[in-house]
Amino acid sequence: MEIREVFARNLRAARQAKGLSQEELAHRADIDRTYISSLERSVYNASIDVVDRLATVLGIEACELLKRPPMESQMPTAELDD
């Protein structure tokens, strides 16, 4: 999984865990809502400054938005059964 996809998944999960809409997150981070949508769909790369602003609003460390899932969850199910 590419880092842009990792970021997108983590951003969406963190936003939803906080109960925030894309619009509310965008407002609090002073970012356009369509940009949040694009980040969550892996359309754009976020600058490190944007990653930090989003993490601050979400109440997490920036590194949490870039953390890859454990290897087992990245492997297809058939490979786990072997």
Choose among 5, 4, 7, 53: nearest CA to 27.
53
- For 46, the token pair is 């976020």
- Residue with the two structure tokens 């938005």: 65
d(CA 18, CA 13): 9
Written as one letter, the residue type at 56 is T
> Cβ(25)–Cβ(14) under 8 Å?
no
In this structure, of 33-37, 57-61, 68-72, the range with the lowest mean pLDDT score is 68-72
- Residue 41 DSSP one-character state: T
Is the pTM higher than 0.75? The answer reads yes
pLDDT of 22-47, one tens digit each? 999 999 999 999 999 999 999 999 99
Sign for the pseudo-dihedral over CA of 55, 28, 23, 17: positive
